[in-house]
């Protein structure tokens, strides 16, 4: 069974299509790069999958259920682009918060990652730098044993060394039966992780293929292909 | 999950409400020192402190409304609305916490007022009185309980009116706060119109004052709860179907 299925999904914002008739199926055990220029609909795609937005038309099935239902939320780990955790909380309180609400949360994994990244659990989010805040959010999202991870720009605000740690963490911490959808502009960094890529342009899927097949058939990296397709 | 939400709600709101109560008590106790040392200006200062202490008590509902907006319709909404929790549980947790804080605020305001009155003229008069005659509610404990229920239902309905307006306004892509204000005014007008159009209830006054008062209070509670239920339905609908986080 597919972990995520979009059937003719359209999302309009005041008459402007952020997503336009998207058909897409993601199978379990895949790491998928959701790529495209600014404003192409990547964040809208992820927010629809989480039930944070309702589609104007079409249907979405996620882990066998509908987006926005508590049972679906229990199986999906979402990392938003924005800082969504309460800033008055400490990292330790956030770990407790996640453990309270998610049965699949792995406290030991979260605490280990906080330690590896030298983040003091007693530090409040408001006292953290922007990069540290992003790391904490990613740690919380990846410490769940979810069926589907939806990561919106997970490495945008961190330094290259941390980026490597985070990417290896994504590989090390996700359940092989689960799928990961990563939206990012830093294609060269994530390319080595990806099984599939989806190119979005003007709210439409213009390419969905396996990374290995793309490299063979096009004779170039995903990063190079992205630059060619979306050349200004 | 409701218990876990309640725990988080109390954790988050205690920080603000605790400060408000502390300010109330400091103002009330500071009043004793200031009034005695300021002479004729003392009464003016006392009146100002009284107003400020009461404002702290009345701040409960605005605090709860801001909490709703930040927690569900702001950036925190990305976290809260992706928890394995239903919209109903979110709303009930917020309503229960609002009701509890409102009741506590009423008690704290009464305590602060008594501290402010201590040692002043008329301090021996009851806090709730008409021309010095204490309001005893006919010695009827049931009526007091009914008025408490009415107060709590009223607080929840006021909160729900703001929740409904905010949830509806935030369904739009732009001018969310302006459109929330428009929704609030619209809901107010619609509620007033509905009350005007509905036939007057057929009250059977039995010549027993207290029985008639009980009947009237329950009728007001039922009406307020019905209006609250309508606002609740609008809020749930908007949060489930028309959520439009930035």
Q: What is residue B40's predicted lDDT score, i.e. its pLDDT?
A: 67
Q: Average the pLDDT over A163-168 and give the result.
A: 79
Cα–Cα distance measured from residue A216 to residue A99, given in angstroms and rounded to the nearest whole number? 44
User: Taken in order A65, A56, B70, A124, is the CA torsion positive or negative?
Assistant: positive
In Å, how far from its chain's centre is CA B94?
A: 12
Q: What is residue B1's predicted lDDT score, i.e. its pLDDT?
A: 85
DSSP-based three-state secondary structure for B207: coil
Residue B245 forms contact with A (CB below 8 Å): yes
Query: B84 CA to chain A: closest CA distance, Å?
Result: 4
Pick the more confident residue, A155 or A128: A128
User: Taken in order B160, B166, B169, B171, is the CA torsion positive or negative?
Assistant: negative
Q: What is residue A34's predicted lDDT score, i.e. its pLDDT?
A: 92
Task: Please list every residue in chain A whose beta carbon sits closer than 8 Å to the beta carbon of residue B174.
Answer: 14
Number of domains in chain A: 1
**Spatial CA neighbour of A51 closest among A106, A9, A21:** A9
End-to-end CA distance of chain A: 39
Q: What distances in angstroms separate CA A178 from CA A147, A181, B147, one per listed residue?
A: 4, 10, 55
Where residue A130 sits, what CATH number does that domain have?
3.40.50.300
Task: Please list every residue in chain A whose beta carbon sits closer than 8 Å to the beta carbon of residue B244.
Answer: 53
Which structural domain, as residue segments, surrounds residue A162?
Answer: 4-229
What parts of chain B have a pLDDT lower than 70? 35-42, 119-140, 200-207, 242-246
**Spatial CA neighbour of B61 closest among B144, B147, B146, B161:** B161
Cα–Cα distance measured from residue A110 to residue A144, given in angstroms and rounded to the nearest whole number? 9
Task: Please list every residue in chain A whose beta carbon sits closer than 8 Å to the beta carbon of residue B1.
Answer: 70, 101
Q: What distances in angstroms separate CA A115 from CA A77, A121, A144, B65, B183, one per listed residue?
A: 22, 8, 17, 37, 48
Question: A109-123 pLDDT, tens per residue?
Answer: 899 989 988 899 999
Confidence at A107, pLDDT banded by 50, 70, 90? very high
- Phi and psi at residue A179, in whole multiples of 5°? -115, 155
């Amino acid at each position: 069974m597919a972990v995520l299925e979009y059937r003719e999904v359209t999302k309009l914002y005041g008459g402007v299509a952020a997503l336009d008739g998207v058909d897409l199926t993601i199978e379990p055990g895949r790491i998928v790069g959701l790529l495209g220029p600014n404003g192409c609909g990547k964040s809208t795609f992820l927010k629809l999958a989480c039930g944070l937005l309702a589609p104007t038309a079409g249907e979405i099935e996620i882990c066998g259920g509908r987006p926005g239902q508590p049972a679906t939320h229990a199986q999906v780990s979402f990392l938003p682009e924005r800082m969504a955790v309460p800033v008055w909380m400490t990292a330790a309180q956030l770990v407790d918060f996640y453990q309270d609400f998610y049965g699949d949360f792995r406290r030991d994994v979260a605490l280990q990652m906080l330690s590896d990244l030298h983040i003091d659990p007693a530090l409040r989010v408001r006292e953290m730098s922007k990069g540290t805040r992003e790391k904490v959010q990613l740690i919380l999202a990846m410490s769940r044993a979810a069926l589907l991870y939806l990561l919106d720009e997970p490495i945008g605000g961190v330094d290259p060394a941390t980026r490597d740690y985070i990417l290896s963490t994504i590989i090390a911490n996700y359940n092989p039966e689960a799928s990961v959808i990563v939206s990012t502009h830093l294609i060269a960094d994530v390319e080595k992780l990806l099984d599939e890529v989806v190119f979005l342009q003007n709210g439409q899927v213009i390419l969905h293929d396996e990374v290995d097949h793309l490299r063979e058939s096009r004779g170039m990296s995903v990063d190079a292909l992205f630059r060619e397709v979306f050349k200004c | 999950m409701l218990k876990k939400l309640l725990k988080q709600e109390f954790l988050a709101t205690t920080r603000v409400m605790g400060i408000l109560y502390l300010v109330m008590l400091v103002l009330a106790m500071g009043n004793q020192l200031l009034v005695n040392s300021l002479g004729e200006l003392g009464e003016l200062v006392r009146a100002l402190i009284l107003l400020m202490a009461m404002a702290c008590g009345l701040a409960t509902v605005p605090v709860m409304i801001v909490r709703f907006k930040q927690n569900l319709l702001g950036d925190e909404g990305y976290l809260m609305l992706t928890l394995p929790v239903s919209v109903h549980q979110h709303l009930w947790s917020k309503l229960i916490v609002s009701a509890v804080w409102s009741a506590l605020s009423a008690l704290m305001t009464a305590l602060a007022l008594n501290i402010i009155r201590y040692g002043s003229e008329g301090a021996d008069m009851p806090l709730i009185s008409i021309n010095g005659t204490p309001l005893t509610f006919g010695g009827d404990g049931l009526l007091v309980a009914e008025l408490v229920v009415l107060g709590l239902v009223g607080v929840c309905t006021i909160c729900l009116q703001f929740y409904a307006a905010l949830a509806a306004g935030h369904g739009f892509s732009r001018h969310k706060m302006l459109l929330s204000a428009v929704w609030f005014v619209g809901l107010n007008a619609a509620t007033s119109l509905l009350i005007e159009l509905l036939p007057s209830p057929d009250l059977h006054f039995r010549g027993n004052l207290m029985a008639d008062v009980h009947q009237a209070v329950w009728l007001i509670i039922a009406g307020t709860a019905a209006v609250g239920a309508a606002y609740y339905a609008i809020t749930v609908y908007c949060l489930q179907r028309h959520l439009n986080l930035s």
